[in-house]
Structures are given as structure tokens and as C-alpha cells.
Structure 1
Amino acid sequence: MRYSKSIIAAAASVVVALGFYGCGGSDDAPATPASPSSPSQPSNPTNPTTPTDPVKPAATGRWTTGDLHMHTIESDDAQNKLSTVLDQTFDKFGLDWTAITNHLRTSSRDQDGATIAGGPLAYSQAMATYEIPAVKQLQANGRYANKLIFSAFEWDMPTHDHVNVGIFTGSPLATATKAANEFEYFFTNRNAALFDPVDVSAWSAKGARTFSTHADAVKAFAWLRDNYPDTSYALINHPSRNVGMYTAANYREFNDTAPNIAFGVEGMVGNQMEPNRGGYTAAYVDANLKNRVYGGVDYVVAQVGGIWDALLGDGRRFWNVADSDHHFKVIGSNSSGYYPGEYAKTYVWLENKYTGVKAVLEGMRSGKMFSVFGDLINALDFNAANGANKSEMGGELKVKAGETVTVTIRFKSPDRNNFEYPLDSGMNVNVRPTVNHVDLIAGDVTPRAAAGTADYSKETNDSTKVIATFTSTDWKLDADGYNTMTFTYKATKSQYFRLRGTNLGMNVPGETSNGNPLPDLQTSVTEDTARFNAINARNYNDLWFYSNPIFVTVGS
């Protein structure tokens, strides 16, 4: 385990918060640029060039921070009551919005941890009866003003792993509690006696319950598509945590079934306070390298040219997010996950024309998002332009063959992050997170793989490479306080571009190799307090951010 003595020794005591609105509820070492001779690079690229300060466009929206995956004591494996988690999420760590995503199992406790009389309840019922009214009351009492809080759930997908599902209805959009109840009836093995018999009779007329096979999992995505096509989402959590849960064909099939709903993966996983970072406990053997995290990031996203790149190479609009997966932080001899906003943040651009849940839904679907560990950065402007035409994360720039494309990258870092030593002591280490380098990654976009073909199961994109690496010698500070750099090339083929950045050098023993993150090892310190501090130091010494891609499509 590698420690920074200056970081461990330092102690002192700003969480950057972004404004928001609304309330929730329910209804029914230095590196050099990559060699231009790389065969997968865009044709005729230049070295990183000295940027010019960009012209400021009129703002149509604003950046917000949120968390799509966290638990309260209504999940039987979580330990913090609702108000405790929300206090930390908003009052201490300054998120703008959060989804409460307790397990879609049975719930035996209410929002404060009291045993439910006559329980346990199907979670969808507990959510409607206890969780959502409690959130409304807290906000009516003046808590979490101008914060958006909504309820979703974490579903045990048959034959696979966990999926965060949000279903909304009404105007303004709010959690569709009756729909969640129906979803739980059809797509879990809950005892039918846990549901209203009148509902069970009506639902039974629609068809059989399906909760056992892969085909049943696909039916659930189809059910969301058919019933809530524009007002639901289903994002795959910690995808590689357990061996054999997914194939590349599975991801493609889910996305093909419901592209407006199954549009993302939690690549920057939660449970970062686990000794096995992220709770990825598969045996530490070479056969399980695909079931590790790399700098805390799931293999699906961390592997350059891996499954995420294979999906992007299909032209799929498939995005990455970061979450806390908070159940508790430290209890007795066990540690699990940070509070929402403490370590992981997903930044989502919300357009001013939308409000509330609708704004978050549209923002997520747009792909204009980036995800960060340890507040390595707190602002990112990443775009590709051809003259006056410009596209940002999640978007598409259309150009003609031979036209010049300029990729611009601008980022900021905060003065400090939330690293405390000792853990939870209130003593902030007070060291500014510093980006060592930023990688610009590109891959080809080719015709979409068809179901039933070999390419549909292919889990690599062989064209994907790091095409340029930028360090502080390559960027300059612009008038707005952004570190700014550009990359220019002549377009010859359709490609996508994405970013990753880190505080680590290119070849840090045990951490990086040629700039790529190495698999995280288990923290095995025996004494509890020392282990908790070692885990926390491990995490804050190993920071990353990942952007969503920009597509550049070349036409005639």
C-alpha cells in the first residue's frame, strides 16, 4: 500500500455545491502525447496545441451533482436512517439531488429503523407508505430546501446482478409508486400475499409473473419500454462485481430492447470503503482480472478498448455514472461506502427548459455527464468543433471527410476535497487534488453489430486507443480559471472521443502502467481503525475522472 507522508501528516479542516431547485415526492510522472503514427489515431493529427480562450456561449442550463444509488435503513443490509443519510448528502456534502434506491426485496423497518408492525412489506409498498411521506415531511419542515429527492429501487435482475430502476409519472414527474408495486409483483419472487388481492387479480389478467431467467430479465426492460417509455430508466450497477453475470451480448440486448431506458452503467462503483474496493471480492487470480476494479472503476469502463468501447463502437448512446452505493460507512469492524457526495459525484447538465425529475431524466439521457472520485475535478468542458459547429459530451458532430476537427478540453479542480485523517475526525487533510494527466481516448464507430452474429458478443473494440496524453506542460490557465488544451485533426472516419484523468503518474508501482490503472488489491490491515484509515488513504491517493463520449460522424 502506497501512502503520501505529507497527506497523512497534514490536518486542518469547501465542498463545492451547485444551486438547484424543486422537491421530490411520489405520484400514484510527466507524459508526452501519443505518437501520431498510431494506426488507430485520427488521420494527420497535430500535437496538442496552445489553446485560445473560447468565446462564452449563452448558458442554456447548469451543471448539477447527484447520486443515483444509495440505501437507507429500509434496506435490511443498510444501517443509517433516512434523515441521517440526507443530512450528509445535502447539508455536509452539498449534492443537488439524489435517488433513494433501497433494495426491491422485503423491508422490515421504517425510515427511522423502527420495526414495521405486521411486516415485513414488499419494498415498493414500504417506499410508498414510509419513505416518500417521510421525505415530503422533512422538506415541508424546511429541510433540504431546493434539493431534489426522489425514490427509485435496486432490483435483483434474474440470472444477472443489480439494476437501478426509476419509474415516474404525473406532471411534474414523481415516483410512480403503483407502477413500482406492479414491477415488483411481476419481476421478483415476492409472495403474492404481500400485494393487494384486487391488484393481483388485475395484474394476473395481463400475464404470468416472470422472475427466473435471462428472458425474464429482458421482459422487464420491455415492460418499462412499453409502459413508461419516456419516464423510466434502468441502469446496471457494479457490473463486474460477481463472476459470470454479464456478456457483451447481454448489454447489447438490454440496450436494443429499451435504448431510452437501458442507457448506462455504474462504471465508477460505490462501496469504496470496502477492503476489497467496491466489494469486488472474487478470488485474486488472473482468471478474475475482469472482475476487479481499476482505480476504483469497473473493468467494463476502465479497460481501454473493452466492453464500454465495444458498445460505443456500435454507435450506442451508452453512458457511465459514479455512485456511492451507501449502506453505512463504518460499523464495528466493518466498513462499506462513503456517504453520497463524499467521494463519488456524477455531474449532470440540466437544461433550463426542464424541472425536477424530468430535468434529471433528460440530462442523464443526453449523456452530457462526467463522473469523479475524490473531487479530482469539479468542472469539465469537453467539446469537438468544426468551425461554428460544436458538440459536447453525449452529442454528435457531423463533418465531411477531410474537414478539420478541434477537440477542446477545459477543467478545474477545487481547493480541497473531503479527505479526512483520521477517518471521520473532522481534520481535513487540506491538500488540493491535482490532475497529473488527462488521456484523450478515441475509437472507431462502425455499423452496429446485429443480434445473432459473432460481433454481437464481441467485448472489445480493437480500434480504441489513447491518442493523446496531456500534462500541465500542455495546458494553460484561461481567463475563467480553467486548465485548457486542444487537439486538432482531419476527419476521415466516424469515431468517438472520451476522456479520463488521474492524480497519478504514468508508471506508479502498484497503481498505473503506461498510464493505465492497475487492478486494485485488497487492504488487509488487521486492526480495525488502522484498516479504515488505510482504505481511506488508498482511495484518496488514487483519484480518477471519466467523461462521457462525443461522437464525430463523417459523411460525404
Structure 2
Amino acid sequence: MLSTKKTLLAIAVPACMTLGLYACGGSDDPAPTSTAGTSPAPTTPTTPTQPAKPQGMWTMGDLHVHTAESVDAVTPLSTVLDHAFDLNGLDWMAVSNHLRPSPRDATGATLAGGSIAASAGIAKYEMPAIAQAQAAGKYAGKLIFSAAEWDMPTHDHLNVGIFDGSDKLQTSAKGLNKFEYFFTQQSASLFDPNDVTAWQQEGPRAGTTHADVVNAFKWLKTNYPNSSYGLINHPSRNPGKYTVADFREFNDTAPDIMFGIEGMVGNQMEPDRGGYTSAYTDANLKNRTYGGVDYVVAQVGGIWDALLGEGRRVWNFADSDHHFEVDATQQFSSGYYPGEYAKTYIWLPGTSTDLKTLLTAMRSGKSFAVFGDLINALDFSAGTTTTSTDMGGTLTAKAGDKVTITIRFKSPDHNNYEYPLGSGFKVNMRPVVDHVDLIAGDVTGKAASGTPAYAKDTNDSTKVIATFTKADWKVDADGYNSITYTYTAAKNQYFRLRGTNLGMNVSGETSNGNPLPDQKTVVTENAARFNAINDRNYNDLWFYSNPVFVSVQ
């Protein structure tokens, strides 16, 4: 049975400066590696032939952000955009307000005529405000687009993006409007009556059952096969909302649309980390976050590994789920601003930063996700003497080939940790990676619907096969910490990474290198609670890569 973390104590100064457990952002001392994977014996790897350096760029963004147009959010659109781009340096962002009746415009002003359809608010207020700001020279060169968060009947939330165009996509306001009509239970009076008359000829509305969810994926695939996405947000936040068979069915129905999970969830400023508020009982251990990461992704050999073990291209993303950081009453906290704490890094090929390029790159899997700027650069590849491939790709090898796994990462000089929270005073916390785990699992092919394998939510082959500390990596000419690991190809596998600032066994935080379930921060006084939550988060940093697949011929 999994252990549970100890409740953090209220503190008046940063925990990392007082507890003496580890340095701010990480430890400078190598962690023991005698458990949960070991550092490999020194090898002389066969260096793969290096292909021509690909043309492109790493970009940072956030796919899950709310503004005051969401009924449970309060931050005006302009404030969100200022934080995301001017303060936190993101390159792209999706505004993804709830697909529910919206009571306010983009400034946060209450609509005089009452609530309107969320998609109508996107078309009338959100998209024009973004376009006007960029036309006036704000957020130059930044990619900002509108999506929506849908309450999936019988499940939880789906991040839905629907786009029109050919060469350069743009948000389809009409597509979101039609999706909202067909797949929610909003009153038909919220929609244009001419549209309703036409849509009624296409069939009944469908927003109450699991079958309706599957039909929603089919609808996206039929109408926007190459220009939409449907990504699972905070999958384990509430008990009983999904089985692994649900994920498989969604991915089988529309693999180019349901290709991602928000494993590194937002709402990190909640006392219950990530907003995972289910009772703190052993029965709900699968409904906790672990180092801020959803159980689906954090569990080695769990649901994500079960999907990867079938060869499914399902990727992990990190988001802010920003609604507000601290509300105006100074009583409640929710989530960091976009780019402040959570970042998803995606490689964009070429020199284009348009939406079509981003969507293609999202599907590619060449991306990684990070909390608290633990790292800000990662190269992760597998190669033989003749070829190599990066995250999201598949290396083809022959049985007996020597395969070299190459890991290169950097950390910034400081992250965004501030004390007190909201003061704007950055304490120049330097994030330090304590260790990196190389995780591997077998790939055996897709399970068939209706079979026991389709309901199996573990991958028993998945293990931490190596743990690296600073004793194992060297700083290369580009300033990257560089590691190589060589093995002999024998079967189809995938490899993925996780890293942390924590040691292997930190009381209440890690056990044998694995993150322990996050506990609620219980501090009565509001300002002290906000600081304790912020300290909790910045003392517990992780990054996760997407996998590299190796196919053995």
C-alpha cells in the first residue's frame, strides 16, 4: 500500500530556508541510488551517427487557462495575457474557458442581458479582444488562440480545440458553437434560432451519456479530422470518472484528436494540490497528486504506461488551469498564472509559429513538461550507429544492435519563486536537479476491445532501469548536463524520463525515488497558508518527458 505524505507545518519564511532538508530547488549532494533503479556501470557507448541538426525551435506554452468569462474565474483576459507573455515569457497559449453559460465579458464586466453561451462569448468578446491587442502591437510574435473546457457527461473535463483554415489555422467560433449545442445541455435559447433550426435536421442533441462522449469524438473526427484536439484534463481528480478502457476507447475512436493527458495538472495553489479534494483515505490514493502530478502519469507502470505499452501515441502535458491566483478577498487561492509554475515545451519544426504548426507538433510528442522551471531544456533521444530519433519518435533497430540513450538537460539560474507570494519579490531560487530516472516498458501491441487486456490498467514490464545523479552526468560544451546509457536491443520498448529536485528518500515526499501522495496544506491564517502552499510547490519540483519508442526488427 502506498504511504501518505506528512502534512506540512505553517511557516513564516520559505520552508527551503528553514527546514534544512534540502537546498532551495534541490540538493547539491548526490542521492543514494541503491533503490528504485541504480546508476549503470560505466560503459563506453557506441556513439550514434549524428544526423544534420534539425531546423526548428523549442517553444513554451499552456493549453488550459481560464479568464473572467468562466463563471468560476475572476482574472480579466488582459491580465492573464500580460502575465503569460510579458512576465512569464510564454510563446503560445490557449484560452480555454468552461463550455458553460458565461456571465461576463473579457474584462470581467457582468453582461447586462444575462449569461450567454460560452462559444458566443468567445466569438463576441474573447477573440476580438485578443485580435485588437495584437493589432495594437501587444504580445508581438505570440500565438494566442481560443479553445474550451467541456464537462464530459459521466466523466470529467475535456480540453477541446476546434480550428478552421488550410495554410494557417484559426479558432473556429462556429465549430465551438455547434459543438456546445450538440454536446451540452445548455438551453437552446442561448443559440441562434436559425442555427438551431438547421442543426435539428442533423439529429438529436447528445450530452448525457458515455456514448455521447464517444460520439463527440466521432463528431470531431468527422468534421475537423486534422484541425481539432480533445485532451483529458486532470483525469484522476474525482473518483470513478474513468477506467483505462475509456481512455483506450477515446483514443481508438479518434487517435489524432485524443492524443494527450494533462498529467501535470494545474490548480497548484489549492490547499488540496491540484484541486484534488477527495477524502484523504487509502481508498482514494489513486485520486491524489504525487509531486503535483496526476496518478495516471506519476505511477510507474500505471495507466499511462499501460497505454504506451500498446504503442499508443498519448502524450503528457503540463498546464496552469488558472482561474485566479489569490482572489480579491484574500481568502482563497487557486492556480498560478500561465507560465509562472507549469510549462509545456514543444518543438516546432522550421521557423513557423502558426497554429497549424503547433497542432502538428503537439501530435508529434516531441515535448516535455516541467514544474517550477526545474529544467528549461531537454534533448532525449535513442540511436544506433546509423540513425537516431527524439521524443515521440520510433527508432528502428535490429536484434543485437547497441542502442544508446542520450539525455541532455539544462536548468535556469533561477525560477519564479517569490516570498511573500504576490509581493513581486523573487528570491532567486536556483532549481537543481537531484536525479533523473530512466523508465522503460515493453510494447506488445494494442489490446482488443472487450478483452481482459482492454481493462488492464497497469504495465507490469515498466520499471525504473537507471537513476542518474550529478556523479553520472558531465557538462558538455553547450552547457548541458549530458548522460548516455547503452543497451542491446532485443524487444520492442519505450523509454521515458522523470527528474526531480528531491532526493531518493525525503520524509513525506519520496520513497525509493517515487513521489508520495500530496497532502492538504492546513494553515488557518490566509496569507500564511498561501505562502505555505507556494513553499510546498517549489520544494517539490518534477519534470516528465514524453517517450522514445524502439522497434526491433
Match of 1:204 in 2: 200
Match of 1:30 in 2: 31
Indicate if the aligned counterparts of 1:105 and 1:123 stay in contact, CA closer than 8 A. Answer: yes
Letter in 2 for 1:322: A
For residues 30-50 of structure 1, the C-alpha deviation after alignment (integer angstroms, 9 at most, x for no partner) is 2337799x9xxxxxx963547
Indicate if the aligned counterparts of 1:53 and 1:478 stay in contact, CA closer than 8 A. Answer: no
Q: Assess, with a 3 A threshold, how the Cα gap between structure 1 residues 503 and 158 changes in structure 2: closer, same or farther.
A: same
State yes or no: 1:291 paired with 2:272: no
Match of 2:73 in 1: 78
Shift of 1:112: 0.5
Match of 1:229 in 2: 225
TM-score (norm 1): 0.93
The match for 2:90 among 66, 82, 95 is 95
Match of 2:318 in 1: 322
> Which consecutive unaligned segments of at least 5 residues does structure 1 have?
11-28, 39-44
3-state DSSP of counterpart to 1:533: helix
Shift of 1:355: 3.9
Indicate if the aligned counterparts of 2:35 and 2:512 stay in contact, CA closer than 8 A. Answer: no
Match of 1:14 in 2: none
Shift of 1:485: 0.5
Q: Assess, with a 3 A threshold, how the Cα gap between structure 1 residues 226 and 113 changes in structure 2: closer, same or farther.
A: same
Indicate if the aligned counterparts of 1:50 and 1:485 stay in contact, CA closer than 8 A. Answer: no
3-state DSSP of counterpart to 2:64: coil
The match for 2:305 among 309, 316, 326 is 309
Indicate if the aligned counterparts of 2:101 and 2:116 stay in contact, CA closer than 8 A. Answer: yes
Shift of 1:425: 1.3
State yes or no: 1:131 paired with 2:126: yes
CA distance in 2, matches of 1:186, 1:69: 22
Match of 1:350 in 2: 348
State yes or no: 1:117 paired with 2:117: no
Shift of 1:117: 3.0
Indicate if the aligned counterparts of 2:59 and 2:347 stay in contact, CA closer than 8 A. Answer: yes
The match for 1:520 among 518, 521, 528 is 518
Match of 1:391 in 2: 389
Indicate if the aligned counterparts of 2:48 and 2:404 stay in contact, CA closer than 8 A. Answer: no
The match for 1:192 among 185, 188, 195 is 188
The match for 2:407 among 401, 409, 425 is 409
3-state DSSP of counterpart to 1:334: coil
Shift of 1:142: 1.2
Match of 2:5 in 1: none
Match of 1:67 in 2: 62
Letter in 2 for 1:216: D
Match of 1:439 in 2: 437
Match of 1:25 in 2: none
Q: Assess, with a 3 A threshold, how the Cα gap between structure 1 residues 432 and 292 changes in structure 2: closer, same or farther.
A: same
Letter in 2 for 1:454: P
Letter in 2 for 1:554: V
After TM superposition, list the pairs within 5 Å mapping 1:32-51 onto structure 2. 32=33, 47=41, 49=43
TM-score (norm 2): 0.93
CA distance in 1, matches of 2:550, 2:119: 42
Shift of 1:359: 1.3
CA distance in 1, matches of 2:97, 2:18: 35
Shift of 1:422: 0.9
Match of 2:24 in 1: none
The match for 1:421 among 419, 426, 437 is 419
After TM superposition, list the pairs within 5 Å mapping 1:472-551 onto structure 2. 472-551=470-549
Indicate if the aligned counterparts of 2:50 and 2:387 stay in contact, CA closer than 8 A. Answer: no
Letter in 2 for 1:47: A
The match for 2:248 among 243, 247, 252 is 252
Shift of 1:118: 1.9
Indicate if the aligned counterparts of 2:54 and 2:349 stay in contact, CA closer than 8 A. Answer: no
Aligned length: 530
3-state DSSP of counterpart to 1:119: coil
CA distance in 1, matches of 2:130, 2:259: 28
Indicate if the aligned counterparts of 1:107 and 1:120 stay in contact, CA closer than 8 A. Answer: yes
Letter in 1 for 2:139: Y
Indicate if the aligned counterparts of 2:16 and 2:539 stay in contact, CA closer than 8 A. Answer: no
3-state DSSP of counterpart to 2:246: helix
CA root-mean-square deviation = 1.9
Indicate if the aligned counterparts of 1:49 and 1:485 stay in contact, CA closer than 8 A. Answer: no
Indicate if the aligned counterparts of 2:65 and 2:96 stay in contact, CA closer than 8 A. Answer: yes
Indicate if the aligned counterparts of 1:391 and 1:550 stay in contact, CA closer than 8 A. Answer: yes
State yes or no: 1:334 paired with 2:332: yes
Q: Assess, with a 3 A threshold, how the Cα gap between structure 1 residues 157 and 304 changes in structure 2: closer, same or farther.
A: same
The match for 2:214 among 218, 239, 261 is 218
CA distance in 2, matches of 1:337, 1:46: 39
CA distance in 2, matches of 1:202, 1:265: 34
Letter in 1 for 2:514: N
Shift of 1:7: 3.6
For residues 359-386 of structure 1, the C-alpha deviation after alignment (integer angstroms, 9 at most, x for no partner) is 1101100000000000000000000001
Shift of 1:55: 5.4
